[in-house]
């Protein structure tokens, strides 16, 4: 079989780099072109020297004669607002699209407007007719739809950790749905590649903080997805924090258990929900999960705990924000969209320490 | 005025080092002896070379002829179980005692038993008759009692961050008292000086985790103190996390606001409660507080937020675990116990970056 | 005595922040104005919130009516090129000037041209007539001249660590002068406050590198100073490295010992040279010096070693780049220029861990 | 072809973990048993949870009935002194041996004695008759001998960085051989898995230091190997430093160029020496090499610089101490010993950021 040809738009950012790391060793896919507006002409290995000898393709500018377009799939590893402008023309040519941003995470304009308002973007969507066609790219919840789709909105990193950590509880009805609190801690790589006073090394050293309290845009997709699982509207309280490490999201999820629910029922709900899933590992309360357990890998580790004194379910959800939270989910979605083994190119344990 | 003579027992640990840093520059107190069982005979500046020239006193063994005892106050900078054995004899000599551990944080044996069970210690207390005499050393809540006392149980670091962050809300009655969730993130220095596999540098690098979920021993004193403020029993859900920085505790505190309560009322409750306090700074939601804002200082910074969609109060509480969470509170208590200016020796902003 | 009134130009950077930290607690000096072109109108404590309550002066724009000018000394905490334009008018008013940059580190135009070429600056100097009047602000070598001067060029951070680490060896004639190699490792705060791709947190995490190999501009002042001490021209090989910590410079200095020289003679040379110095501590080879031993303080720690197999002197020189390498030296110079106790406001041990 | 069966002795340490990470995905080798004295009975994935699902073999105790012995090769991932006791019996059974320690890095007892004295070990060797049979496992210098050998002494991590960085200069005769200085900076993982006061997280945070100045044991193998390349005795000055990152060694190598030698000749010497090498990348001075360029990979990156003012060659040599400095070299040696593609299982770029 010929390998699937992949074009990566926005290749120069961390999300592009992550896709290159995975795809350069993928058994059934190959990188055909790396597209970006910055650093045109430079090999990707000049931007990311660890890739030297693994991928030395040059960055090409979009919409130029020398930019290849014979792809079977395009990754838009781009900020909000880019994919929505470019996706339609690729889809018309029969090229599948996976977008990393919020552009295709919502299926109707109204929800998109709420999301766009949160991030201070133009509420208008450049291709609103595509919204109904797009699928939310969280394989564990939408595998069948992803397989049938040619347009996938890759989920937000915080959203992956929250949704995977809460879906079984919401679906099984063991928690009070109005009681959900999500306290997320992310490494700094989630902020992307562009320098910024808040992520300047000395400013971030020995430093942690909460931010966008009750106002983070990923809340939208978490509530939408949990609502779909629950069959009713769900609201969550969500507080993101930045902690001074590089990779990883640890989200501590709190909800009130319904009367009579115990750890055993919690464990049953989660193990049953994730039965057969390659990338979700469920643990009981006995072993604290450390973020390095998933660093560099596509896994989500969940540890289940019950505070019997207060009747709270406490789930600790761990992912690598740049893998399961971004490029790894994108490759997992690509595998599903092309009928490949879902785990192809994704079974790496990461390194330790 | 002669300076107050201070003896520090357990001087070789981080808590002792922190006390030396503060006391070597204190205008009205001086270190008379540094007592420990380890490193006897070495100057403290051999253990902590930054102190060279500032404090070069040798470590002396306890209960030896060359160990001075002409103190006016003794700091027990020791683990649980030590102060309760030693305090009585100092008190008999008229020496005031400030203990860093849980030995004197509780005023009755029953509560102490619950606490001791949590940390796997002998439930027996070596000097139970002293419990009723001891005062919980959180100056913002017990200033008058501390001033009258000769035996103070210095508060736990997590407890300081939770109690200061919640007391005004609990007292003013603006929150539902059963709804409190405390999500704490601590730097690694809180684990103390003794090496340990979990705090070995490579194991902790790029790593974060939750631990003792629903089972941390500081819960006891938080519930006791909030209960006293509320005038009724309070239970909290508390999850501590370790994040890879050195100094600082950031606790995100969640509670359901009562119907009709708004940010304005929250701000009023907090500003009123902490009016005149030297070491508590109250901020609104506009400015995210970063842990370096309090690093190296005795301040607690609180930022107040309301999630209007879910009706939650979200308070972010920041301290330096080794200062306001330990040695700084101890010195603040000493100042109060001796009728000194409460801020003496404690007004340092820390350094940045 | 009235306190000395200090104006800080370029107050918003790390060098300004460091000066504020020291001066807000200085017994004989006070900050009269904080001047900068950015963040005008904001209190310095909005930029550096740890200063809240210690210094809340607003940033004022230079050369505006509301900018005070009744200073006795001005700190130019500014990049190369600023002080040389502004110094003359302050000097004319009788205001002393301490400049952090290379503008006044050299006493003749020719040397300045070499320096300027290295940093890609205009070789012209805006006030060349001031060069001969300026004094190089390393107190341990130029105390008497600093005391008589009203214009001091504060030394470069790397230069402080190299010069203090080598001057005794060069002066005493125990080393071969052509054999000096300086291998410097700096924390990231030396790069200043402005965000930059190389110092973006994720890019710097778990990362170290050499840079400007054989081309760093501080080489000029090291060679000039060592040449003055030696009474003949000296050339050094100097390689700076960035390592992922915040504060500190560790420079490992290598030189061939002359035939017959031993550790004992080395120790004598250094102890004699630094006899009575408040801020230089000399150690033998027995105790490795860790950068935290000087973090947050104005000390330079030197440890002296001899490799008998190869006849090399190996000196490890440690400073905090933001204190002895910048603001601390500036305050030390101010103390000397005004006839104050040289250590006033500078005797802090820093904090640990 | 059946996969090569590998036994790993000392599997529970970082060196064992590194071997498992590489071997679990190796196309031609498989892990047959994980042997250690600690944590017997636990799956390796309980010690290193990132391996869950990739390798869950239990730790077995050595010399017990249930410990497999049908290996084709044994890795002694053990401290000095262990391999020398165990190697002989495996070799007698026809099992090849790769030892991580200094036990088999030297071919005669005299050199071993010098090495053992440095690390404070018993100068006696448990199997001195094997020393002449062993080969120093640096493939780039001893490939043919490794291929013929059944006993390989894997090189020390610092030694790899020094030897690869200097061998071409020494061989080509472009430098003065008495002038070599090696200034090495290592991440903390090089200290291994056992907790220790010096590598306790708070003690290491924001901290760097030199250690074992002129006394590190790796000097022996560097001098021996460079001597072999040069055809005459070589002495080096070597200073190791610990910097607060996890993975990586950056060694800055200094030597005086002979009269008339220029960067061009340096580049030719290095490119020629490493022509065809899969794991050594040679760079000119234009691009500073950052340690993350080799993190998680088996590469050694060398950047070549000449200081024309002082006539010094300055080579910056980068490796990941746990890969090319340990487990990666071991797997590379195994590949060579079994006639496999030398790069099998080793072509990973690592991850970034």
* D338 Cβ contact list (under 8 Å, min separation 6): D4, D28, D72, D73, D96
Task: Report chain B's mean pLDDT, rounded to a whole number.
Answer: 97
Instruction: Say whether C246 and A201 touch across the interface (CB within 8 A).
Output: yes
Q: What confidence score (pLDDT) does residue B287 get?
A: 79
Q: What confidence score (pLDDT) does residue D123 get?
A: 87
**Does pLDDT of D286 surpass 90?**
no
Peptide bond into B111 cis (omega under 30): no
- The chain B residue lying nearest A237, using CA atoms, is B310
Sorted by where each begins, the domain ranges of chain B are 4-154+324-337, 157-321
Q: What confidence score (pLDDT) does residue A288 get?
A: 85
Two tokens at A200? 């300047």
Two tokens at D47? 């010690």
Instruction: Say whether B50 and C350 touch across the interface (CB within 8 A).
Output: yes
Residue range C332-351: mean pLDDT, rounded: 98
Residue range B130-149: mean pLDDT, rounded: 98
pLDDT band at B83 (very low <50, low <70, confident <90, very high): very high
Model confidence, pTM: 0.98
| Among A275, A285, A347, A277, CA closest to A314 | A285
CB neighbourhood size of B235 (10 A):
17
Question: Reduced to 3 states, what is the DSSP secondary structure of residue C20?
Answer: helix
Question: Reduced to 3 states, what is the DSSP secondary structure of residue C186?
Answer: strand
Contacts of B207 in chain A (CB under 8 A): 245, 248, 290-292
Fold observed for domain A4-155+324-337: Rossmann fold (3.40.50)
**Catalytic residue numbers of D, as ranges:** 157
| Burial group, residue D303, by CB count within 10 angstroms (0-12, 13-18, 19+) | buried
Instruction: Kindly list the partner chains of chain A, i.e. chains with 3 or more CB atom pairs below 8 Å.
Output: B, C, D
Q: What confidence score (pLDDT) does residue C240 get?
A: 98
Q: How far is D319 from chain C (nearest CA, A)?
A: 12
Q: What confidence score (pLDDT) does residue D328 get?
A: 98
pLDDT tens sequence across B200-246:
999 999 999 999 998 899 999 999 999 999 999 999 999 999 999 99
What's the half-sphere exposure (Cβ side, CA atoms, 13 Å) at B243? 34
Strand ranges for chain A from DSSP E: 4-9, 29-35, 59-60, 73-76, 96-99, 135-136, 151-153, 181-186, 209-210, 237-242, 249-256, 280-283, 300-307, 312-319
**Does pLDDT of D110 surpass 90?**
yes
Q: Which of C157, C162, C182, C300 is catalytic?
A: C157
Domain A157-321 in this protein, CATH class:
alpha beta
Residue D157 host element (H or E) = helix D157-172
CB neighbourhood size of C66 (10 A):
8
Contacts of C292 in chain B (CB under 8 A): 50
Task: Report chain D's mean pLDDT, rounded to a whole number.
Answer: 97
Q: What confidence score (pLDDT) does residue C120 get?
A: 87
pLDDT band at B286 (very low <50, low <70, confident <90, very high): confident
In angstroms, rounded to a whole number, what is the distance separating the alpha carbons of residues C331 and D268? 51
Contacts of C15 in chain A (CB under 8 A): none
Q: What confidence score (pLDDT) does residue C214 get?
A: 85
Q: b vs e for A305-341, b when ≥16 Cβ sit within 10 Å of the residue's Cβ?
A: bbbeebbbbbbbbbbbbbbbbbbbbbbbbbbbbeebe
Two tokens at A267? 């464990």
Q: What confidence score (pLDDT) does residue D51 get?
A: 98
Phi, psi of D137 (to 5 degrees): -85, 50
pLDDT band at B299 (very low <50, low <70, confident <90, very high): very high
Contacts of A290 in chain D (CB under 8 A): 49
**Does pLDDT of C1 surpass 80?**
no
Instruction: Kindly list the partner chains of chain C, i.e. chains with 3 or more CB atom pairs below 8 Å.
Output: A, B, D
Mutate to test the interface with A, among C15, C201, C296 (most CBs of A within 10 A): C201
pLDDT tens sequence across C132-164:
999 999 999 999 999 999 999 999 999 999 999
Query: Can B182 be counted among the known catalytic residues?
Result: no
Q: What confidence score (pLDDT) does residue D119 get?
A: 86
**Sign of the CA dihedral with B347 first, then B351, C3, and C7 last:** negative
Long-range contacts of residues B171-175, Cβ cutoff 8 Å, at least 24 apart: B171/B229, B171/B230, B171/B269, B171/B273, B172/B265, B172/B269, B172/B273, B173/B258, B174/B257, B174/B258, B174/B261, B174/B265, B174/B266, B174/B269, B174/B313, B175/B255, B175/B256, B175/B257, B175/B258, B175/B261, B175/B313
Apex CA D46: angle with CA D42 and CA D48, to 5°? 125
Instruction: Say whether C244 and A202 touch across the interface (CB within 8 A).
Output: no
pLDDT band at D37 (very low <50, low <70, confident <90, very high): very high
Residue range C257-264: mean pLDDT, rounded: 97
The string of DSSP letters for C50-101 reads GGTTT--PBEE-TTSTTS----SEEEE---TTTHHHHHHHHHHTT-EEEE-S
Domain at D157-322: CATH architecture: 2-Layer Sandwich (3.30)
State the DSSP code for B155: P
In angstroms, rounded to a whole number, what is the distance separating the alpha carbons of residues A160 and A183? 13
Q: Which residues pair with D136 in a beta bridge?
A: D153
Q: What confidence score (pLDDT) does residue C348 get?
A: 96
- The chain C residue lying nearest D201, using CA atoms, is C353
Apex CA B211: angle with CA B209 and CA B217, to 5°? 145
What's the half-sphere exposure (Cβ side, CA atoms, 13 Å) at A88? 9
ipTM reported for the complex, 2 dp: 0.97
**Does pLDDT of B121 surpass 90?**
no
**Catalytic residue numbers of A, as ranges:** 157
Residue range D266-285: mean pLDDT, rounded: 98
Q: What confidence score (pLDDT) does residue C118 get?
A: 85
| Among C348, A174, D309, CA closest to B51 | C348
Contacts of A246 in chain D (CB under 8 A): 353
Domain B4-154+324-337 in this protein, CATH class:
alpha beta
State the DSSP code for A57: P
Assess contact for B98 and B330: CB atoms under 8 A: yes
Q: What confidence score (pLDDT) does residue A286 get?
A: 87
pLDDT band at B276 (very low <50, low <70, confident <90, very high): very high
The A-side interface with D (CB below 8 A) comprises 14, 17-18, 21, 24-25, 48-54, 189, 205-206, 246-247, 281, 287, 289-290, 292-297, 301, 347-353
Which alpha helices (DSSP H) does A205-293 contain, by range?
A: 218-230, 263-273
pLDDT band at B288 (very low <50, low <70, confident <90, very high): confident
Instruction: Say whether B316 and A292 touch across the interface (CB within 8 A).
Output: no
Mutate to test the interface with D, among A277, A282, A288, A351 (most CBs of D within 10 A): A351
Instruction: Kindly list the partner chains of chain D, i.e. chains with 3 or more CB atom pairs below 8 Å.
Output: A, B, C
**Does pLDDT of B266 surpass 80?**
yes
Assess contact for A167 and A226: CB atoms under 8 A: yes
Distance of alpha carbon D56 from its chain centroid, rounded?
26
pLDDT in tens for each of the 353 residues of chain A?
799 999 999 999 999 999 999 999 999 999 999 999 999 999 999 999 999 999 999 999 999 998 999 999 999 999 999 999 999 999 999 999 999 999 999 999 999 998 998 888 888 999 999 999 999 999 999 999 999 999 999 999 999 999 999 999 999 999 999 999 999 999 999 999 999 999 999 999 999 999 999 889 999 999 999 999 999 999 999 999 999 999 999 999 999 999 999 999 999 999 999 999 999 999 999 888 999 999 999 999 999 999 999 999 999 999 999 999 999 999 999 999 999 999 999 999 999 99
Nearest to A246 among C189, C202, C245 (CB): C202
Distance of alpha carbon D16 from its chain centroid, rounded?
13
Q: What confidence score (pLDDT) does residue A121 get?
A: 87
Contacts of D274 in chain A (CB under 8 A): none
| Burial group, residue D53, by CB count within 10 angstroms (0-12, 13-18, 19+) | middle
**Does pLDDT of B33 surpass 90?**
yes
**Sign of the CA dihedral with A160 first, then A165, A168, and A173 last:** negative
Q: How far is C5 from chain D (nearest CA, A)?
A: 34
Nearest to A351 among D21, D206, D289 (CB): D21
């Amino acid at each position: 079989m010929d390998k699937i040809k992949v074009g990566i738009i926005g290749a120069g950012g961390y999300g592009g780099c992550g896709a290159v790391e995975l795809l350069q060793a993928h058994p059934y896919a190959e990188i055909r072109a790396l597209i970006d507006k910055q650093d045109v002409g430079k090999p990707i290995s000049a931007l990311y020297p660890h890739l030297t000898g693994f991928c030395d393709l040059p960055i090409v500018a979009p919409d130029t004669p020398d930019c290849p377009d014979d792809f079977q799939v395009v990754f838009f590893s781009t900020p909000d607002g880019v994919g929505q402008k470019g996706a339609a023309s690729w889809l018309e040519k029969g090229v599948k699209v996976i977008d990393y941003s919020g552009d295709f995470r919502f299926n109707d304009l109204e929800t998109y407007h709420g999301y766009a308002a949160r991030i201070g973007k133009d509420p208008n969507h450049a291709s609103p007719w595509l919204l109904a066609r797009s699928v939310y790219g969280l394989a564990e919840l939408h595998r069948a739809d992803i397989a049938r789709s040619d347009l996938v909105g890759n989920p937000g990193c915080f959203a992956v950790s929250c949704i995977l950590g809460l879906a079984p509880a919401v679906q099984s009805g063991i928690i009070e749905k109005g009681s959900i609190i999500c306290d997320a801690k992310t490494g700094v790589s989630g902020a992307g590649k562009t320098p910024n006073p808040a992520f300047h090394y000395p400013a971030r050293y020995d430093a942690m903080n909460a931010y966008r309290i009750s106002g983070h845009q990923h809340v939208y997709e978490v509530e939408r997805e949990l609502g779909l699982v629950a069959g009713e509207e769900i609201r969550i309280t969500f507080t993101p924090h930045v902690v001074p490490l590089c990779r990883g999201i640890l989200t501590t999820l709190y909800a009130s258990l319904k009367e009579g629910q115990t750890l055993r029922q919690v464990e049953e709900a989660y193990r049953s929900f994730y039965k057969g899933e390659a990338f979700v590992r469920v643990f009981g309360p006995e072993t604290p999960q450390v973020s390095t357990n998933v660093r560099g890998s596509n896994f989500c580790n969940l540890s289940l705990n019950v505070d019997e004194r207060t009747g709270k379910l406490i789930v600790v959800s761990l992912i690598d924000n740049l893998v399961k939270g971004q490029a790894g989910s994108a490759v997992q979605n690509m595998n599903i969209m092309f009928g490949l083994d879902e785990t192809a190119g994704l079974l790496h344990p990461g390194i330790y320490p």
